[in-house]
């Protein structure tokens, strides 16, 4: 039974996903279906949490929207709706979950850039 489940999981895994870490600023290209039309919408923000392993891996991305309102979305990495993920820059963090960014506004919400 587990062999069958393992083979199904391996079929759904994407090979082109980049190595993601907490604090990375990413652009997620997400497929949106509106009636009969399909389009790709880009959601750019900071990864504040990563959960799961294998095909169930999901990332929580937070951005500051219009009028300073924070918007968070959870994306399944191996979902067919996620077309592409681009890593824009890496940040220096000391936590595994960056939920403290929810309480910060403006310059206080910035993370220090990690240089390589």
**CA-to-CA distance for 111 and 91, rounded, in angstroms?**
6
> What is the C-alpha to C-alpha distance for residues 19 and 42, in angstroms, rounded to an integer?
19
* Stated pTM of the model: 0.86
pLDDT on residue 1: 56
Instruction: Confirm whether 2 is domain-assigned.
Output: no
Kindly state whether residue 67 falls inside one of the protein's structural domains. yes
Helix (H) or strand (E) holding 8: helix 2-12
Q: How many domains does the chain have?
A: 1
For residue 93, give its domain range: 18-109
Residue 26 CA to residue 92 CA, distance in Å, equals: 15
Mean pLDDT by 10 residues, the chain (116 residues): 72 84 96 95 96 90 90 93 94 94 88 85
Q: Is 115 helix (H, G, I), strand (E, B) or coil?
A: coil
Dist. CA 34–CA 99, nearest whole Å: 32
Q: Is 89 domain-assigned?
A: yes
């Amino acid at each position: 039974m587990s062999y069958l489940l393992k083979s199904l999981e391996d079929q759904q895994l994407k090979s082109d996903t980049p190595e993601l870490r907490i604090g990375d600023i990413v652009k997620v290209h997400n497929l949106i279906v509106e009636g009969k039309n399909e389009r790709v919408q880009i959601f750019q923000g900071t990864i504040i949490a990563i959960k799961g392993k294998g095909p169930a891996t999901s990332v929580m991305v937070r951005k500051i929207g219009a009028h300073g309102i924070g918007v968070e979305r959870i994306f399944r990495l191996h979902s067919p709706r996620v077309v592409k993920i681009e890593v824009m820059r890496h940040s220096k963090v000391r936590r595994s979950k960056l939920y403290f960014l929810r309480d910060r506004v403006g310059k206080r919400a910035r993370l220090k850039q990690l240089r390589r």
